[in-house]
Structure formats: C-alpha cells, structure tokens
Amino acid sequence: MISADRLPTVMDVVRAGRSTRPPRDVDTADQLRAALRRHVPQGELTLRARDLRSDTLSLSHSSLGLLRGTLVTQLLRLASVGYVPQDPFTEAVEAFIAGDDRDEFVQILRDLDRDERDRLAADVAAHAVVLRRRLGTIPPSWFPRTLVRGSVRVAGGHVVLKDTIDLVLGRRVGDTAAVALIDVTTSPLDASAERAGRFHALVHTLRTGVAPLCVATLSTATGDVVRLDVDGDTLTRAVHDVNATIHGAVAA
C-alpha cells in the first residue's frame, strides 16, 4: 500500500516529461480568436470557469464553501514564497483580511459564531494538510506567481472571458512550452474539472499569445491530482465549450 506521502505531488506531476515537451506554440492564439467570433451575443456577456463547471450545487458553492476555498488559496500563496504557517487557519485569515478587508467574505467570516468558526477552522486545517502533502515544494526558480488574472475580450468585444489561475509556474520564453497552470479546488474532482482546465488554458493562450504546457488540478478534498496536457485539440475543445455557452446565452 502506498501512503499518501509517497504519492506524486503536483510538482512531480508538472515536472514529468521534461525531455519530451512540445515546441512553444505562438501561432494558435490568432486562430482561437477567429474561431471565437462564431457566435456574437447582443450586449455583453461575461464567462468564467465556474460557468463551465457542473451545475450541481454542493457545499463548495455555499458561502462557507467559497470562504474555505478562499482561505486555502491564501495557504497556497504562502507556500509559493516558501512560508510554512504554524496555524494555517489563523494565518490564512490574517493574509486574507490584509488583502481586502471590504471583501464580502470578510464580513461573512466576522459574522460567524464561535461554533461555526471552529468548524471552519477544522475544515481549513484538514485541507491545509492535504495541500502541504500533495503540492510539494515550489522551486523559486520556476517563477511562481499566484492569483494571476485574465480578462480577455473575444467575439468582437461582446464576450469577456474572465479567469484567475491559482498558481502559474514556468516562463513563456524559450523554445519549448514550459508554463504550467495549477488549479487548487476544495471540491472533489469531476468531469467539469477538465472543462475548467481547458478554459484556463484558453484564456492564458489568448492573454499571453503563448499556449501553456499543461494544467494541473489538485483537490484538497480528496488529494487527487490530474494533469491535462495542452495541445491544439485541447484549445479547440475549449473554444467549442465557450462557443456552446455563448450560443446557449444567445438562444435564451
């Protein structure tokens, strides 16, 4: 039996196949932009990765679930600069409030009674254990950056694709694809995680002009890690997902 500590970490998964990386793709972005002109809605439509996820409402989509996800993201940001919290919940809260004390989740956090707060703290602590075990150590030489935002207009400017990548590693200069996008979710992974991964890859390609190498998703609920290699087919499917969503909005 393999213990959880011996399972490959996100860093291992991203590092895999270093010798067989594809060449850097700087040509696909224009084709994608052209393919996204197929359906043009009236007015303006904003699409996010969550719009492509499954519709099932779960704890992860409740206020407390979203708050938990936000706090786990703070722990990821701390890990990106090599900071190891002694008290994950307290320090994640400190980091979060310092970022924006007017955020609606800060108010939700302040409104929690003692019992709710302790339950949330226990929940975050459990996710922090999985994050620490399954993320691995992020090398500073991989240029880690966190909460990288994208806001790209397509379909003649009528559709805004908005996205935030939890962690981006690697640089887009060089002869081979080297950028990895990491998504950390507090939900279990399902089929919609792959759709979200494709969306992340699409927005990154449109934003930077260079296709990423891969998208890796870690669930801190289960410890599962999946890697989606990005190629032309991945990006074409992402365009199809977006066009289908736009078409649905236009038809409605």
Partner 1 sequence: MNQLQLRHVSGRRLSSLLAEVADTPFRFSDEQRDALAARFRAVPTTQHRRLDAWSVEQGGAEPTPFAWSPSNARRSLGRSALAAVHVGRSPSLAVAVRQEIERVSDRALSPSIPSGSLAVWLVHQRPAVRAIVAAEAVTWATETLECFDDLLVDWEALGSDAYYDVAGARTSLRGRREALVNAPTGRVLVRVRSGAPGASAGAGLRADLVTDALANPLGVAALRIVGLWPDAGIALAVDGTEGNVKRGARGLVRAASVRQGATTQRRAS
Asked if residue 73 binds partner 1 (CB under 8 A), the reply is: no
**In the complex, least distance from residue 128 CB atom to partner 1, rounded to whole angstroms:** 13
Strand runs labelled E in 67-158: 145-154
Asked if residue 94 binds partner 1 (CB under 8 A), the reply is: yes
Contacts 24+ apart (CB under 8 A), 193-197: 193/53, 193/217, 193/219, 193/226, 194/226, 194/228, 195/52, 195/53, 195/241, 196/49, 196/50, 196/52, 196/53, 197/226, 197/228
**In the complex, least distance from residue 22 CB atom to partner 1, rounded to whole angstroms:** 18
Distance CA 82, CA 236 (A): 36
Q: Within 10 Å of residue 125's Cβ, how many Cβ atoms?
A: 13
User: Would you say 177 or 193 has its CB closer to partner 1?
Assistant: 177
7 SS3 class: coil
The one segment of 12-20, 113-121, 142-150, 191-199 that binds partner 1 by CB under 8 A? 142-150
**In the complex, least distance from residue 125 CB atom to partner 1, rounded to whole angstroms:** 15
**In the complex, least distance from residue 212 CB atom to partner 1, rounded to whole angstroms:** 12
**In the complex, least distance from residue 3 CB atom to partner 1, rounded to whole angstroms:** 29
The one segment of 8-16, 76-84, 108-116, 226-234 that binds partner 1 by CB under 8 A? 76-84
Which residues is 180 bridged to in the sheet?
A: 169, 214
Asked if residue 237 binds partner 1 (CB under 8 A), the reply is: no
User: Would you say 85 or 223 has its CB closer to partner 1?
Assistant: 85
